[in-house]
Chain A
């Protein structure tokens, strides 16, 4: 009980900070709302799906960024996909960086792309880590 309450509080604060820090937006809340008894782990399921799929994309983009010259069209395409996926889980920062990246692609700015991608990767990793921790606590709560 006590433990549970603690966990619950911890969970709530973790969650709140994700929003406060701008990692997540309301889309995440919509996902939570979709969760129900029939799909009690829906949010986690979706987040897991996202990370599995997007990891692949990240690698692809990375490789594409190593090529020379840069194929902006392709990069834009990959990023479009990545952005769509990130948007659907409410990854706010990552989404913004994706948009920025695409703008650089359109402008043919390789430098801008590379820089933005670094930022994106960082925020992507941070959110991933935090969400993993979040779900772990959630799981503990049973």
Chain B
């Protein structure tokens, strides 16, 4: 298989380099398929277990273009895999089987397979699979276009799906841009997306929340795309976007009913990333206090949380989210996750802050409550740390709604108020102090990633950063130093999530629209102080009650603390580059992956959070913090997100200022 020319220049080579993931438990078939696909010049990855395949997909969100899977597999039914992939990654999936009975083929179709091949598979059939990729992108693109990016339309000719199509320049462009999108760091505006950026709409946490609330308002039975669209009132969103998302959501709900709730929680997370933040839930069990105390959320847990939450690859189980390193918390690494990069980066960066994502800027009490749930211990942990840190009412205990992805489902509903929960920055009471656990709220999401993410600049975007605190595992380990050190709270006060961390950090911190649009954190956290994270919006009701998945924990954490955490670390890393770019609704960028916005936000947040003032503990952050690269990369989708987030604009600069200066992150035991 030739390595796909990564991008750039491949216009003539497309579909060469198409990244295929083939899943089949039969080693003979697998080997043959691998060889055949290689002969077609695709970049093949083979896998003999569905679970592993899902992990790979989650870890590397943007690493594959198409999935081919067998129907009958011992560990997981092929249709289930198909469904999951569709929900979480939205990649085209081709089913294969020796069974050609009508029922089975029909089942494939109804579950969303874009094609069904009968074994033994012929190489000719494989030669044309790229058409599915193109078609899907095109459709998504079309949706996007409506919002304004038009070029694409021109550029993308109808895929005639003939073999010749591969030579079309458009394809190449598309491919290239798609790749580039992943790699580039700039946040693209919606307009820019026309350059064949991923046309997918990134369903940020916030956006999804809006969606869910609209659906709930209408009643799941009566919820039709048109009405949902109207209710959501998100400019640029098309009926098609909503329709496809609704379809997935329905599947998700259906699955939920048969699955334990905690799994299903984070729709968003699964949507964008990984499946339920199961791990996060585990975190919820975590006592934030404990976490705070220890300052460290077991990396594992955090990692899991994060992972769970963030579809992103929760992979980072090992994310060391030092609680202490509050900065981490805010690292929206989660976001990074979203970016499709499985990179550990976001995790590493600090454990992506997925937490922050969920930090709603203005958290109503309701939301706060929600946060609690979602915040899942992680969030709370983080928050706590932060909370403690800022005993002063720093602006407000960031009630970061860390809707951790874990409870995606929860978060969604919770925040469904239709609006991004805004964490009242001035939550006055330093929830943080009390138990930082709450603080962990926002931080949870944030902390996770962030290992230090500095939410600092959160402020800008109106979009509340929903820090899905739940963000999975990441949080816990990451930067939740918040809880641990009281000092953090001090710092946290500045957590004012600017952007309103509403983001639910859940899983994908899906770009909660509100997601701190202004994550300028990166740029200069210090400077952004005012913006930083105005957690104010984020009403992190950091509720230590971490509810399992959603790190929503109402994070009372003083944003500053939280942010600092995340930021410092991220700051280090990020500082530059991306952050500024990210400024925008940063996280909307969500991991490049399609859904990623939400998550990405988290990640970005991290980076953004780069602690303006707190360089404190940036240690953590440094490595982990949102890697700058993360941010930019995923901007492909992010653009969309940003655009959406921009709308959100709810995140006003947090007055609380997250100045992290006070961040005594030091106190936070890592």
Chain A positions within 8 Å of B, measured between CB atoms, are 27, 30-31, 34, 36, 39, 42, 45-46, 49-50, 52-54, 77, 80-81, 83-85, 87-89
Contact = CB atoms under 8 A, between A and B. Distances in A.
Contact of B122 (A30, A49, A83): A30
Contact of A87 (B31, B35, B36, B120): B120
A27 B120 contact: yes
A88 B29 contact: yes
Contact of A45 (B31, B98, B99): B31
B26 interface: yes
Across the A-B interface, the 4 shortest Cβ-Cβ residue pairs: A50-B28, A84-B98, A85-B28, A49-B28
Nearest to A35: B35
A80 B35 contact: no
Nearest to A99: B98
A85 B31 contact: no
A30 B35 contact: no
A125 to B, nearest CB: 18
A34 B39 contact: yes
B27 A53 contact: yes
Given A27-B120, A87-B119, A80 B72 contact: yes
Contacts of A54: 28
Interface of B: 25-29, 31-32, 35-36, 39, 72, 97-99, 119-120, 122-123
A124 B123 CA distance: 26
Contact of A85 (B29, B36, B99): B29
B98 A87 contact: yes
Contacts of B97: 84
18 contacts: A30-B122, A34-B32, A34-B35, A46-B32, A49-B31, A50-B28, A52-B27, A54-B28, A77-B72, A80-B72, A80-B98, A81-B72, A84-B72, A84-B119, A85-B28, A87-B98, A87-B120, A88-B119
Contacts of B122: 30
A39 B72 contact: no
Contact of A53 (B26, B35, B98, B99): B26
A30 B123 CA distance: 9
A98 B53 CA distance: 29
Nearest to B99: A80
B26 A81 contact: yes
B47 to A, nearest CB: 16
A6 to B, nearest CB: 31
Nearest to B72: A80
B32 A85 contact: no
A95 B98 CA distance: 11
A45 B119 CA distance: 19
B36 A34 contact: yes
Given A49-B28, A85-B28, A87-B98, 19 more contacts: A30-B122, A34-B36, A36-B39, A45-B31, A46-B28, A46-B31, A49-B27, A49-B31, A52-B27, A53-B27, A53-B28, A81-B25, A81-B26, A83-B98, A84-B26, A84-B29, A84-B72, A84-B97, A88-B29
Contacts, number: 53
A88 B35 contact: no
Contacts of B29: 84-85, 88
A77 B72 CA distance: 9
Contacts of B120: 27, 30, 87-88
Contacts of B31: 45-46, 49
B276 to A, nearest CB: 29
Contacts of B35: 34, 39, 42
A138 B180 CA distance: 47
Contacts of B99: 80
A92 to B, nearest CB: 12
A77 B32 CA distance: 22
B100 to A, nearest CB: 12
Contacts of A53: 26-28
A125 B99 CA distance: 25
Contacts of B27: 49, 52-53
A106 to B, nearest CB: 11
Contacts of A39: 35
Nearest to A27: B120
A75 B122 CA distance: 27
Contacts of B25: 81
A80 B29 CA distance: 13
Contacts of B26: 53, 81, 84-85, 88
Contacts of A31: 32
A120 to B, nearest CB: 16
A99 B32 CA distance: 22
A46 B32 CA distance: 7
Nearest to A86: B28
Contacts of B119: 84, 87-88
A89 B39 contact: no
Contacts of B123: 30, 34
A84 B119 CA distance: 7
Nearest to A54: B28
Nearest to B39: A34
Nearest to A90: B120
A84 B72 CA distance: 10
A79 B122 CA distance: 22
Contacts of A89: 28
Contacts of B98: 80, 83-84, 87
B593 to A, nearest CB: 32
A28 B544 CA distance: 63
Contacts of A85: 26, 28-29
